[in-house]
Structure formats: structure tokens, C-alpha cells
Structure 1
Amino acid sequence: MGSKEFLEKSKQVVVDYFNSHADKTDQKQITGDDVFVVWYCKTLQNHKALLSTNVSDGMYYEITNNGDKQETYVDAYKKWENFVVR
């Protein structure tokens, strides 16, 4: 799988996840245009990307493709807080 194919698949995974888990009362559905890549890396046959959406819900998604097993793993996270430690 190439980088472009992986990122397109990752965006679709986020769209499908969001649309199936969003609060139905919000009546909000997203498309691939609403998803953006925060970070991406390819090492050997493996890919990893962090993605988010333009929805202000604090969610971000970690998508990992294991090239040896041809499996894709998804972690969905909620950002609770951002603070400085000195």
C-alpha cells in the first residue's frame, strides 16, 4: 500500500467512524473534506497517521497499518485538556 492510498483509506475510516458514532440529535455527517492529517510517517512497510476533523469535539484518530499482516488498527481519542507544566 502506498502513502496516498493509506491516507485516503485513513480519512474514510475517520468519516465512517464519526458518522456512525456522532450524536444523532446533532444531525451532523462529515465527508473526507472535513478530515485532515495532523501527522504521518511510513517506516519500512508500516504506516501511521494522526487525523482530526473540523468538528470541534476534541477527537483525534490514530490509524496504523501493519504491512506484514495487512491489518489496519484504529485508536480514537478525546482531548480533555491542554496545559503547561514548568
Structure 2
Amino acid sequence: MLEKAKQLASQEFSRLSGREIKAEDCFVVWFSKTLQNWKALVSTNKITSSETCGDYAEITHNGDKKETYVDVYAKVSNRAIKD
């Protein structure tokens, strides 16, 4: 599951960035599995945050439908909120 998540993320990062991003260039930030479903949040250091193609992928596997969905995000904002 983790390797599949990194492979799918690398394929989408490569497609969107126009250059090769290998699965070994990706790392899993978070993973969860419940019954036949799972989700992984995957990122890479090969894409900078200034690039608009996105460097963070959400891989969601629907075990009932035997489908996996890949959503890619780019950071738009980061601000500190004081307590």
C-alpha cells in the first residue's frame, strides 16, 4: 500500500511537473487503513513550493470499488496564528 501510494504520487508529480519524479523521491507523511480502504499523504522534495504543479498528494483507495484516487495540492498560504 505504501509503495503503491508513492508510485502513484510520483506518476502524478511527473505528469504535472513535466520531469521525472521517481517513487524513491517521494515519502509518506501520513497513512491510515480502515477495513478495505486506505489513504496516504505523500510529498516530495524534488518540487519546490514555488512551482505551481503541487508537491503534496492525497492517495485514497476505495476497496469496495477497487479504485484509487490521486489528488495533488500546492501550498497557497502559511501563516502563524498566535494563541
- TM-score tier (shorter): 0.7 to 0.9
Matched residue count: 77
Structure of greater relative contact order (alpha carbons < 8 Å, 6+ residues apart): 2
CA RMSD of the aligned region, Å?
A: 1.4
Higher helix share goes to which structure? 1
> Aligned partner of 2:9: which letter?
V
Q: Which amino acid aligns with 1:50?
A: L
How many angstroms does 1:57 deviate by? 2.4
- Normalising by the residue count of structure 1, what TM-score does the alignment of the two structures yield? 0.79
Taking only the aligned residue pairs, the percentage that are identical comes to 51
What are the ranges of 5 or more consecutive residues in structure 2 without an aligned counterpart? 50-54
In the TM superposition, what are the counterparts of 1:41-56 in structure 2 within 5 Å? 41-56=32-47
**1:6-45 residue pairs with structure 2 within 5 A?**
6-23=1-18, 28-45=19-36
2:79 partner letter: F
